[in-house]
Amino acid sequence: MAKNQVKFQKGISIHGFMKLYGTEEQCQRRLFDMRWPTGYRCPKCHYDKYCQLHSRALFQCNKCHHQASLISGTLFAHSKLPLTI
């Protein structure tokens, strides 16, 4: 019988998990790296310069002013809970 790759993947302790994702900033940084692994790219025009709108956690393209969210299109999109929860 073939080994179930998902079931037997290496785990992480709760201590290790909290060390990686214990703060909102760490969660946001991880989402940023997953969304833009080679650095920010505007989803509309692919420009790489942006400013961050701290009031609404949005990234705004410096060229076309398109605003991109870290959580749009993810399972976090419709949640009002902090990412740490």
Binding positions for Zn ion, rule: CB under 5 A: 42, 44-45, 47, 61, 63-64, 66
**Which residues, listed in sequence order, are joined to residue 67 by a DSSP beta bridge?**
60
Shorter beta-carbon distance to Zn ion: residue 30 or 43: 43
β partners of residue 58? 53, 69
Q: How far is the CB of 53 from Zn ion (least distance, A)?
A: 14
CA distances from 15 to 21, 25, 28, 64, 80 (A): 10, 17, 19, 42, 25
**Smallest distance from the beta carbon of 27 to Zn ion, in angstroms?**
25
Query: In terms of CB distance, is 30 or 41 closer to Zn ion?
Result: 41
